[in-house]
Each structure stands twice: as C-alpha cells, then as structure tokens.
Structure 1
C-alpha cells in the first residue's frame, strides 16, 4: 500500500499549468474516467469557520441562531451532516458549547485546527468527536509557507492524526491546495499512509480535498493536478479511500464552485463542504442552498428537508449580519424568480410552468413574481396581480379584463412623465385596490 514520496528536496510548482504571468492553463490527457455517484451523498457546513473569516466576526447569539436554522433546514434528513467551528477564542468556545447544548443530531458539531498539538488540546477539552486538520499538500505551501520538505510535512501530518486517534478524536485531513499538488508524488503517499493508520486503529480517517484557489476542472479528459475526476478517482482507487470518507471543499475564484462540487459527487465523493449563501474569503465557498437543490436534482427527492427556511435565513442574514445578497442570486435573491419581460409575463399568465422550472412557492416559499415596467403591457399587469396576491385558479385576473386598462394607463403615464424605475409593489397594490376592490377583500380574508 505504501509508496515513496517523489522529489524529497525539489519542488514542483507545475509552471506549465500555472505560469503566474498568464491565466492558469487547462491540460488534457483525454482519459475518460467513469462517473460513480455514491448512493449516499450529503453536505457539510463551514459557515462558522471558512465563511466567517470573510465577514465581521459573528456574535454567540448569531452563531446559535444560524446553527438553529441549519438544523431546521435539514429537518432530520441528515443531508446537512456536519458543521465545523473554530475553537481559538473564548467566544468561539462559548458558541460551540451553546450549540452542543442543543443536542441536535444534524448538523453534527465538528472543529477545525492546524496540525499542531496545542490546537488538538482544544478539541479534547471541548469533547468534540471529530476535527478537521490542516494538511497543506502543494509544494507552494510545503516549501514556501511551511518552509520544509515533503517528508517532514508528511511525518508531521501523520503524527497529529495519530495523536488525534489516540485521544478518541476522528481526524478529517484537509488536503489544502490539492489542485496545485503533486498528486502521485505527495498526495498519494500521504493518503495511503493515513489509510494505513485508519486500518491499524479501526478509526475512520476522513479526507477533505481542498480546492483552495478554485482551480479545479470538472470535466473529464483533463490532467492532474486540476482534474476533479482524476483527484476523486485517484483517492478512491489509488488510495483505497471509501466514498463516505471523501469530502470536497471548493472556492469560486473561476466561477466554477457549484459545477466543481457536483462533479466531486459525480466521481465518487459523498460529501461537499459548503457555506450559507457561499460566504467565504475572496470569491467565496460553495453555497449550501445550491447543493441542496443539486441534491434534489440528482436524487429526485429532497427527503424531508425544509427548504422554505432558506428565505427566512436570507432575510435574517441581510438584516442581522448587514450582508447584501445580490437580488438575482439563485433561490435566495429577492429577484431570483421575478420576471420583467412582457412576453414572459404573458406566458406566466397562461401557465406559470412556462417560465418557472419548479414550484418555487411550494418548495422555497417563493412564488414566481412579475415586475411591472414600461414594457409589461396588460398581460404583465394581470400576471403581477395574480402572482403578487397569490390568487387561486378561480380568482385569477385575465389580461382581457377591462379593469386592467386604467391601471395600464396609469403605468404608461408614469413612464411618459420621465420615470425610469420599476413600479414598486406598494404602488401597484394601491392602484389595484382602487380598480379591483375585491382583491383587497380577498387578501384580508386570507390574512385572517
């Protein structure tokens, strides 16, 4: 099982792929690897670790509230399997203690540490059962950051993993910068040694493949070190790591974090590491909401997850955390299913399925909405009334309804007078009550 490390003293920075003065290159070997989606897939959360690093520090109460939200979204499904935390400050440890007091099965609380004994001591004191351990694996990190050799780095990583096991703690080994690492010269020897340690101890040693700079490539036929299919395939087949012990952690530097994460699932990793709304350093991490919807697409079922909570979390995050979620962000942005095109509005008026890919109201508590502007026409106004007030089939207004025309004239007058902004919902609401007073009665009745 063991294999020797290549280039004990010489570094390999793959300058043919990462010339630095140019955009990184994609190299092809045209080797087609099989897709092997595991039967059991899930996500983990790093909002309170990697995500929080990109923002103002969360308060204890904020952490507890967000942890509660993650639990509610998971809703006992086990799809949001774990959430990881820092332990370095008193505030961090207090937040972890309060979250642990909740007693939730999902998400399970884990921690993250450097490969240092003093950090491991914190995990033991908190009685946390599993911890992530930073194990930088590219020569950029080994030679330039750690200023050591591959052999020394490997031995240091094995020592801390062994000590964790001796203390009853499951090690989750974070192979930092794996998409710039010498896979066969360092990653394979390291992971094989970790799997030997796992076999000897009977403890499941987990591997997190970290695409630290978002350099991973999702499509097959590409070469290492950037190829996600080759990385996951190699961990499983060259290192004998089971799918359930492989986790992918990506960043969005090249706009590929969701596609890359799905690819990691498709080629055999069971777990994807995520954050709420993709928060994280630089361009961010993989958004948890994206992967929960991707789970539904791949499995055809979201079990009993409650994705409606996502809208509530996004409101809380923006108000409480003073964080702006772009309005067009899929699934959670304020305008992700708002249409402004008149021709689209006419289609929605005929059947919402024409321009809505799934029942966003049922699944996300976000009904499709039509926004009214100078191009909307009577069809757009009728569609806005039907969607905004959530009128039932028997209550819906037709675009041929004569009561729409004075509203249309009012809208036209707005833009004829020089208006350039979209008509606000509150404005349309008032004018609708004026010409369709029964709508106000319907709304009041349903509110009761």
Structure 2
C-alpha cells in the first residue's frame, strides 16, 4: 500500500477529464445572484434515469445532527442508537450511522455503540481532509470514515484561498494516506456539490479517485452533499443543480455502482425529502438523514420520513419496526427537544383533528381522515383536540375514545351525556376562552357525566 500511495499519480495526459484549473472562481451567477432568490434554469436536456436496484438509509444524527443542538450525552446517544437499531430492523434498512471522533466524549459514545454488537446501523467516522484527523481514525480502529472534500469554487477559492488543483491534490494526499494505513473504505463527501463546476472539478476529481482507489484496493464511496439545499428534482434542470444529471453522468463516465453513491441533503428550500427520493430514483442506493430532521440550519433528510418512504417505494417494511418512530419522538421530548406539534408522524397533532366536520367523519370511519392505521403502525391512535370548532361530533369522538379504552361500545353523538359535555365546552368559549380544552379538563367532565366509569 505504501508503495502505491507514494508512486501513484494520474497525469493530465492520462486523464480523460483533467481538472479545469481556472484563475477566477465559477460562482454560477446566472443561477446564484445572491441578491435575489436562486434561479431555476432548464437546459432542455433530459437524461435517462434508473432507480437504484436496492435502497437504504444512512444516519448522521450524531454528526450533522449535533451541529444543530446541544451535544447529546453518551447515555442519550446510546438510547437513541438502540431505538434506531429497532427502527432499522434485522435487514439493515438504516445501514450506517456516522460519529465525530474529536473529543473524549465523542470516542466514548462511539465505543459505547460499537460494544452493543449490532450489525446495523454500522458505526462510521467523519473527519476533515487532513493527516491529523486521519490519525484519529487509525487510533479508534474503525474501518470506514467519511472525509470532507469540499468541491465548489465557493469553498476552493473563497474559503481555502487556493486553486482547484491545489485543493484536489491535498484531498488526494489524504486518500492515499488512508490506503497506506489499511483503511477498508473511504467515503468522500463532496461538500456543496450543487454549486460546483461539474465537468471542471467534480468529474476530474472523481476520475482521480476512481483510478487510485481501484489500483490501491480501497473501496470508494462518494457522498453528494447538497450543503445549501440547492438541489432540484425536476427533469431537464441544468447542472450543477440537477440531481438526475449528476448521478447519470457519474455512472456513465465511471461505472460507479449505486451502492457506492450516497445523497446528503439540507432543507433550506423545503426540498430535502423530495430531493432524497429523487436520489433513490436516479440511481443512488444510500440517502443520509438524521432523526427528526436534525442538522445544520434547516436540517437533514428526516430518517423517520425516509423509513416510511422506503416502505412505500418498496411495498414492504422489510423488517423495520416503524413504531420505534413514536418512541424516538417521545424520548427526544424527554431530553428537552421540542418536537413541533404538526411535525409529520411525530408531532402531538399530526393525526389529531380539531374540526367538527372531520371528527364527524372519523366517527363514521377513521380512514376518511387518517393517513393509515397510525395506531397499528406507529402506536399513535387517531385523536381529537377539543376547541370551539370541534362541534358535538368532536366531543362525541373524544368520549368514544374513552369508551373504547374500557372495552365499551360507542355512543351516538346525540347521547344526552355527550350533549351536556358539549354544552359545557360551548359555554367556555362563549365566556371568552381562546385556548383548546385540555385532556385533563375533558376527563374531569367525563367523570361528572360518566361517574360509573371514573
């Protein structure tokens, strides 16, 4: 390995796609004027795309997710990892989870989850592209690490203050060193790829990586990082924002298998989930996400949404325990994370109706206003919150929920006891109340009107 690392060099003459070493950065001002909203540009070219033959999820809760909140404790990471393992199931739908390894606490958390002996998610590391960070990987004895390889001119020129050739040479030096220390897999994270010069920087760097790692016997994975959420799912959109074209050309030029490609998105423009699904449908096997969409700024792809999407796309949960989603959300609340009430699958109101006309519908058949059997799949039965818009149907639904818990048959909403409870609710709002009726208040009324069930 050392001999390969020391001697290997792909010359410009050998390269099919040499680096276009421009003097001035290409900032794509036609797309990214900065003083205006980014422009969606179509170039009229639509490429043939093919879904990845197998798809899965990878996790960055304990890396990117921790960049958006107070760091988790080792105990919290351990508990969430157990829940993620349960969600993943025995077939590894959540294939990997990446960790920082910089602090003593980072390394303790990594060792904690490694000692659990789970096949999935497999722990991996994340480092910057330098020798010091690579030495940490060697010290912890992990066989795969992600490495930050920023690829846009925004980073190369404006942050690093270097040329493309200088920066890519630096990256290649760390990749060669990874081979020399016996690493099994290197995962290059193409930071800001959706603002990068695809043919002048992304493709040439990929060519050098593919040639070297093939010769060195080092498995190469490429993570396409939509760092600022600029990626677009539409057919015919121009590079570098086109997810479909990015995948198509990387596979056409280098034959990179789907299992060696990964997508990492952010939600700056409300597209993180659709972009992730587009990545799967364009030929990428792995989509990287975080629990409850944690992540820098607007967050990453929500792991729980990806899990449900996986079941929808494949027609099977494939061993996943989707009820773990509810337990993850509950645990996050326990440790102080405020889950938005309307957050899909996890929020307190996600399957709760407040409208009387909706409550009337679910009393007849809950499928009318429930996305699927949330009680069976997520351990979240359909519910109602009582407000001045709930009507007598809403009160009736709430009462029948209590009866159902006690194994009793439902009542018609015109039952006198339900009518009396509804009159009490109406009186609250006639007196000027503006807040919803709490479950405790409703239970107090229930005990008054159904004393035999109290």
**For 1:381, what is the secondary structure of its paired residue?**
helix
Residue 212 of structure 1 pairs with residue 251 of structure 2: no
Aligned to 1:266: 281
Q: Which residue of 2 aligns with 1:446?
A: none
Distance 1:390 1:42, change over 3 A: farther
2:142 matches 1:147: no
Q: Look up the SS of the partner of 1:248 in the other structure.
A: strand
Q: What SS does structure 2 have at the residue aligned with 1:413?
A: helix
Query: Alignment partner for residue 63 of structure 1, among 65, 77, 90?
Result: 77
The worse-fitting range, judged by mean Cα deviation, of 65-74 and 126-135 is 65-74
Question: Relative to structure 2, which stretch is displaced further, 63-72 or 270-279?
Answer: 63-72
Could you tell me how far 1:87 is from its partner in structure 2?
0.6
Correspondence 1:114 to 2:140: no
Separation in 2 of the partners of 1:289 and 1:437?
41
Q: Partners of 2:91 and 2:450 in 1: how far apart? A: 44
Q: Distance in 2 between matches of 1:72 and 1:20?
A: 43
Q: TM-score, normalised by structure 2?
A: 0.93
1:186 matched to 2:205:
no
Paired residues in the alignment total 439
| CA distance 1:131–1:202, change in 2 (3 Å) | same
- 1:299-318 matches, cutoff 5 A: 299-318=314-333
Structure-1 residue corresponding to 2:424: 410
1:5 equivalent in alignment to 2:44: no
Tell me the equivalent position of 1:161.
175
CA offsets 1:239-288 (integer angstroms, 9 cap, x no match)? 32111111000111111111111111111111111111111111111111
Provide closer, same or farther for how the CA distance between residues 389 and 152 of structure 1 changes in structure 2, counting only shifts above 3 A.
farther
Contact kept, 8 Å, 1:250 with 1:285, in 2: the verdict is yes
Matched, 1:36 2:50: yes
2:365 equivalent among 326, 346, 351: 351
Gaps of 5+ in 2: 1-14
Question: Equivalent residue of 1:47, what SS?
Answer: coil
- Give 2:63's match in structure 1, choosing from 49, 53, 56: 49
The 3 A distance-change label for structure 1 pair 197 and 394 is farther
Give me the TM-score of the superposition, normalised by structure 1: 0.94
> Hey, what does 2:446 align to over in structure 1?
432
Give, in whole Å, the separation in 2 of the partners of 1:127 and 1:390. 54
- Tell me, yes or no, if the aligned pair for 1:113 and 1:134 is still in contact at 8 Å: yes
Partner in structure 1 of residue 106 of structure 2: 92
Asked if structure 1 preserves the Cα contact closer than 8 Å seen for 2:21 and 2:165, the reply is: no
CA deviations 1:177-209 (Å, max 9, x no partner) are 000000011101111221112322333200000
Q: 2:301 aligns with which of 282, 286, 303?
A: 286
Cα distance in 2 for partners of 1:390, 1:70 equals 32
Q: Secondary structure of the residue that 2:63 maps to in structure 1? A: helix
Contact 1:2 1:193 in 2 (8 A): no
How far apart in 2 are the matches of 1:343 and 1:393? 26
Provide Cα deviations, 1:72-94, integer angstroms capped at 9, x if missing partner: 21121301110000111111111
Provide structure 1 residue ranges, at least 5 long, that are not aligned to the other structure. 441-448
Moved more, 179-188 or 54-63: 54-63
| 1:393 shift after superposition | 9.0
Deviations 1:281-322 (A, max 9, x none): 1111111111111111111111221121222221221221x2
- Larger mean CA deviation between 392-401 and 92-101 belongs to 392-401
Distance 1:388 1:330 in 2: 25
